[in-house]
Structure 1
Amino acid sequence: MAKFQVDLSDAPPHPAVVNGHGLLPTPMASIEQPAVPLTPLQTRVTREILALARRDDLSQGDHLAESVLAERIGTSRSPVNVALHHLVSLGVVFHDANRGFFMAKAARELTEVAAQFFDEPDEPLYLKIAEDRLARRLPDVVSEADLMRQYEVSRSVLRRVLSRMQEEGWLERQVGHGWQFMPMIDSVEAYEESYLFRAAIEPTGVLSPRFRVDRTELNELRRRQQFIVDGGYLTMNSVELFEANSDFHETIAKWSGNRFIAQSVRRMDRLRRLVEYRQAKSRKPRQEQALEHLAILEAIAQQDLLRAASLLRDHIEGARRGKVHAQEIFPRGQ
């Protein structure tokens, strides 16, 4: 699909509720071609747009600016444009030739559509390799040739996935075509160690002399966590719940002003991602965690950083006690 140019000069700011003010495009404003299969990149971008819309709790009529979405997702506008047109074909988005794209429905009403993209949270090969590694079905060092035969994929497809794993810090390229798996959260012991590490560094970040709060980000975190408390935890899928949680912790770590704390928290979130997906069935604790998040944010807003650090430590310790004994998160025999 050719890249579509949109004039956003007179569009309402993002996000802006325009419903009821004569600015919401009508269905006649969108004339879409039949949907065509999306590439893996376009599928990922579509999933990211849905995640952002639901995380931001957008309303019917809210404006979706291509440039803003591209920046937040970290991609060019071309796949964003394709993804938005695909969402138009699904009835999620309206398109107006003069003003751009707008939410056709409230994000809260998109549970079924989101499930189509989040039931398989990542590309299958990535998940399969990760699962096999967690189950100890793959050795510490693997070759590209062996992986290509085992998973019946081309070298280009395999390398794309291996490169992503390398970026996430749990795979390292060896001399030649070999790859070595790095330590990851693959046992109850490693899971507990990750929580002990987080309990040591995250509260320390809050007490950093360079800790500075971004008020816009603070209000955004509050709104997202309140949405979860108010019932969002019942309809959000495992990926959305994890992203809301990791965004909370990574944002506070960023406020520390300490690059090493911020990088460490981000890397720990990457390592625990697959483990956390396994706990998605347990929804009630997600609401309780969001309430604890709100209490931490309130203490930060009141500039009571000692209390915020204490609440954060208690929060992480409570999660450790509640999760490390959930044996179902790891394959049998671990």
Structure 2
Amino acid sequence: MSLTPLQIRVTREILALARKDDLDQGDRLAESLLAERIGTSRTPVNVALRHLADLGAVFYDHNRGYFLAKPARELSDIATQIFEEPEEPLYLKIAEDRLAKRLPDVVSEADLMRQYGVARSVLRKVLSVMQEEGWLERQVGQGWQFLPMIDSVEAYEESYVFRTAIEPTGILSPDFRCDREELEELRRRQQFIVDGGYLTMTSVELFEANSELHETMAKWSGNRFIVQSVRRVDRLRRLVEYRQARARKPRQEQAMEHLAILDAIRQHDLLKAAGLLRDHLEGARRRKVHAGDVFNVEFRS
């Protein structure tokens, strides 16, 4: 089945939700609830479920709807296949060329259309996504300018120094308010990773679980600038981290550190939580930057 970019995204979201919720074989996937959680209409959800049925991940009962064909944690092969399919090949190609410094700081639409052999309408959709993610902006008049992004080991390290400065500060904000239901959901997902999910989840799923936790804690800070900053850095990190080969064991250790931070928040010991978060980010910086292969990235087009 040939899917549109939206349908590919919804397919990924459905599978990610099933695996985050650790659904079991036979659990129902209600189209209306999925559409509500993903934030889309039922039409792309229905297409995505039919695609998942073709792949053997779900099955359809004419009278009752769609159900998981096997436990979500056993869908690793299908998850890998779905998450590694490029949602937009042109996006990934431009990202690859920019990270490899094959594109100048300022580019024109005409040059990009010739270089990649695409129509203006296709190109503009991709450029709009890049603009929204904060690594490209339209110039006055004509052309587009690339903004600073995580395109070197030095920039990658700077992103961690920045996060270490603002994320613990968010926990210590006078407006910090933890949502108890969100906290318990985050704890459950991180515990799943600790208990073996780190062995079966794709690199994309692991990154998204990580970014979800950090962005949620930033939201609890009550400071709109901290929230926006953490989200923007995460978007830039995705370009580098989505397609990196990752050692599995550190993911389990990071999830254990996440649980310790959440437990300190649950116990209202925000000073301890901020310290643990600072140590967590500093440890991640040392592991990833000093590994020396941060930018051994392969983009698929």
Q: C-alpha distance in 2, partners of 1:325/1:40? A: 36
Are 2:271 and 1:306 aligned? yes
Q: C-alpha distance in 2, partners of 1:305/1:217? A: 17
Residues 272-314 of structure 1 deviation map (CA, whole Å, 9 limit, x = unaligned): 1122235432221111101100111111111111100000000
- Structure 1 residues 224 and 331: CA distance shift in structure 2, 3 A: closer
Equivalent residue, structure 2, for 1:201: 166
**Paired residue secondary structure (1:183):** coil
Q: C-alpha distance in 2, partners of 1:37/1:188? A: 37
Q: Aligned-pair RMSD on alpha carbons?
A: 1.7
Q: Is the 8 A contact 1:278 1:329 kept in 2?
A: no
Q: How does 1:35-184 map to 2 (within 5 A)?
A: 36-184=1-149
Residues 243-291 of structure 1 deviation map (CA, whole Å, 9 limit, x = unaligned): 0100010011111111111111111100111222354322211111011
Deviation, 1:178, is 1.0
Q: Is the 8 A contact 2:106 2:144 kept in 1?
A: yes
Identity %: 80
Q: C-alpha distance in 1, partners of 2:248/2:271? A: 30
Counterpart residue identity of residue 323, structure 1: K
Equivalent residue, structure 2, for 1:241: 206
Equivalent residue, structure 2, for 1:217: 182
- Structure 1 residues 253 and 37: CA distance shift in structure 2, 3 A: same
- Structure 1 residues 331 and 288: CA distance shift in structure 2, 3 A: closer
Residues 310-334 of structure 1 deviation map (CA, whole Å, 9 limit, x = unaligned): 00000001111111123322269xx
Structure 2 residue runs of 5 or longer lacking an equivalent are: none
Counterpart residue identity of residue 254, structure 1: K
**Paired residue secondary structure (1:75):** coil
Q: Is the 8 A contact 2:8 2:87 kept in 1?
A: no
Counterpart residue identity of residue 315, structure 1: H
**Paired residue secondary structure (1:95):** strand
Q: Identify the structure with bigger relative contact order (alpha carbons < 8 Å, sequence gap 6+).
A: 2
Structure 1 residue runs of 5 or longer lacking an equivalent are: 1-35
Equivalent residue, structure 1, for 2:229: 264
Counterpart residue identity of residue 56, structure 1: D
Residues 154-196 of structure 1 deviation map (CA, whole Å, 9 limit, x = unaligned): 2121111111111101111123441111110111111111111
Deviation, 1:50, is 1.0
Q: Is the 8 A contact 1:121 1:239 kept in 2?
A: no
Deviation, 1:98, is 4.1
Residues 106-143 of structure 1 deviation map (CA, whole Å, 9 limit, x = unaligned): 11111111122112354221111111111111000111
Q: Is the 8 A contact 1:45 1:79 kept in 2?
A: yes
Q: C-alpha distance in 1, partners of 2:222/2:245? A: 32
What is the aligned residue count? Answer: 297
Q: C-alpha distance in 2, partners of 1:42/1:279? A: 24
Q: Is the 8 A contact 1:237 1:280 kept in 2?
A: no
Tell which structure's C-alpha radius of gyration is larger.
1
- Structure 1 residues 103 and 127: CA distance shift in structure 2, 3 A: same
Q: Is the 8 A contact 1:206 1:305 kept in 2?
A: yes
More displaced, 310-319 or 47-56?
Answer: 47-56
Residues 70-120 of structure 1 deviation map (CA, whole Å, 9 limit, x = unaligned): 233232221111111221222222333444322222111111111221123
Deviation, 1:240, is 0.5
Q: C-alpha distance in 1, partners of 2:212/2:86? A: 17
Counterpart residue identity of residue 165, structure 2: A
Q: C-alpha distance in 2, partners of 1:67/1:39? A: 20
Q: Is the 8 A contact 1:205 1:261 kept in 2?
A: yes
Counterpart residue identity of residue 82, structure 1: V
Q: Is the 8 A contact 1:88 1:95 kept in 2?
A: yes
